[in-house]
Amino acid sequence: MNNLKLKDIVVSFMITTVLLLFLEVFSSSFLPAVGLDEYRLGFHVLIVLFIAFRIESIYLPYLVLGFELIHSIFSIEGWASGTFAGVVICFLISYLKDLIQLNSRLSTIVIVQIFQTVWFLIVAGLITIKTDEMSYFLLRLPRFVSESLFLSLISPLFFELLSRFWKTNRDGQGVGI
């Protein structure tokens, strides 16, 4: 677990933001261009899960807000529902850190999948309440399963990359890579 100074956080945040921007461009233009127009990869979710597990900072909620604002530029989903889900999940993780042992790739994949599901349920719930339409949830579910499985499978490698940006250590309660 890393307790970072504000200066380090700002630098790491900027680098991660640039990465997120490029991944959003990839997800919103490359995937449709190669015919995968049914699928979008929510890399912002992985980034928020990474900081929730690996970063110990009083600014964590603002980091979540920042990443979701960037994501909202590429999606009319907006920043609010993702921020709500991200902050709730950060809060949950901060209380479950002692119970969750992310010391192998498998455990990282499983736990990332679980928290992606929690994220999906929160966001889907908010949108269902907002639009008063249950069909959204049912239509989205099959695609969520395939997209989230892919993200979970790449999460150990993705977290390894992010841990370089955030200079987190690999021992202790950090995510197993």
Partner 1 sequence: MRAFLAESSKIKLVNTLVVLILSIHGVSKQSFEFEKLSWFESFIVEVFTPLQQGTTTVKEKIDFAFKHYFFLIETSKRNEELKTRILELENAIFQYEEVQKENERLKELLQFGEEIPRQKVLSQVVGWDSSNEFKVLRINKGKNDGIELKSPVITINGLVGYVYRLSANYADILTILDQNNRVDAIVSRTRSHGIVEGTSNYKARLKYVVKTEPVQVGDTLITAGLGNIYPKGIKLGKITKIEKESFGLTQSIEITPSVDFHRLEEVVVLMAHENEASDKVVKDE
Binding positions for partner 1, rule: CB under 8 A: 21-22, 24-30, 32-34, 37-40, 42, 57-62, 64-65, 70-81, 83-84, 87-88, 90-91, 126-127, 130-131, 133, 135-136, 139-140, 143, 147
Query: What minimum distance in Å lies between the beta carbon of 133 and partner 1?
Result: 6
Closer to partner 1 by Cβ: residue 70 or 154: 70
Nearer to partner 1, 82 or 156 (CB): 82
- Residue 57 CB, shortest distance to partner 1, in Å, is 8
Shortest separation between residue 139's beta carbon and partner 1, angstroms: 5
DSSP string, the chain: -EE--HHHHHHHHHHHHHHHHHHHHIIIIIHHHTT-TT----HHHHHHHHHHHHEE-TTHHHHHHHHHHHHHHT-TT-SHHHHHHHHHHHHHHHHHTTT----SHHHHHHHHHHHHHHHHHHHHHHHHHHHT-SHHHHHHHHHHHHHHHHHHHHHHHHHHHHHHHHT--SSTTSPP-
Residue 42 or 156 with smaller CB distance to partner 1: 42
Spatial distance between the Cα atoms of 44 and 28, rounded to a whole number of angstroms: 13
Residue 56 or 160 having the CB closest to partner 1: 56
Least distance to partner 1 from the beta carbon of 74, Å?
4
CB 15, min distance to partner 1, A: 16
Of 91 and 101, which has the nearer Cβ to partner 1? 91
